[in-house]
Homo-oligomer: A and B are copies of this chain.
Amino acid sequence: MSGSRSDLIAETLEQDILRGRFAPGTRLDETRLAKEHGVSRTPIREAFQRLSAAGLVEQVPRRGVFVREIGTVELLEMFEVMAELEAACGRLAARRIADAALDELEAANAGCRAAMEAGDIDGYYLENERFHHRLYAESGNAFLCGEARRLHRRLRPFRRMQLQLRGRIPQSMNEHEAIMAALREGDAERAASLLRDHVAIQGEKFRLLVAGLRTAG
């Protein structure tokens, strides 16, 4: 279990799903995938179970596994939860964070600013991720950190999308600055509130994006 094969296969399949190689609703054929990856059905099935636990596919008894449709509603719900988790991280971090960690957060934030000024969206995304991951860790709650990372990972492609919107990056940057200030002052409630809004806005932007696509398409 967690055998090196099925580990890698699960990873690969996850990428394939997130990148849209398998359309939502598609049935994933065990035999076909087994041949494709040059292994037997067993590791494929193990990978399926992991994907299922991660919520990426749905297993229907005796019928197979299907790529889950992540509806807009569910996605917005997930953003709402992400907002609360990040708020929780912020609330706790504001009380517990050490000066050294504050500096590291500041460094990640500086990376964001540099990427913004360079107009480098991918770079901004990466540094932004570093900022948030660092924040999760500084909550001082390893379990919370894990849950936050798990959901962050699942929302990754959609968080990325909304960065494409005009003016979103400078806005996001301002939000980061405000969050940093609250953390530095140790104002837990303000940090929580700012972080909740910061993520909630991402959900909102995503909703706009989807609505735009729908009317445009």
Q: Which A residues are closer than 8 A to B by beta carbons?
A: 1-4, 45-46, 48-50, 52-53, 59-61, 65, 74, 77-78, 80-81, 84-85, 87-88, 91-92, 141-144, 147
Give Cα A81–Cα B136 distance, bound, in whole angstroms. Answer: 12
Contact A143 B84 (CB under 8 A): no
Q: Is the interface of A mostly helix, strand, loop or mixed?
A: helix
Chain B, residue nearest A151 (CB): B147
Give Cα A106–Cα B25 distance, bound, in whole angstroms. Answer: 40
Q: State whether A1 and B49 are in contact (beta carbons under 8 Å apart), knowing that A74-B142, A74-B143 are contacts in the complex.
A: yes
How many copies of this chain does one complex carry? 2
Contact A59 B1 (CB under 8 A): yes
Q: State whether A61 and B143 are in contact (beta carbons under 8 Å apart), knowing that A49-B46, A81-B88 are contacts in the complex.
A: no
**Residues of chain B within 8 A of A84, CB atoms compared:** 84-85, 87-88, 91, 144
Contact B1 A80 (CB under 8 A): no
Contact of A49 among B49, B141, B142 (CB under 8 A): B49
A/B interface sample: 22 pairs, CB < 8 A = A1-B45, A1-B52, A1-B59, A2-B52, A2-B60, A4-B61, A45-B46, A46-B49, A49-B50, A53-B53, A74-B142, A77-B141, A77-B142, A78-B143, A80-B92, A81-B141, A81-B143, A81-B144, A81-B147, A84-B84, A84-B88, A84-B91
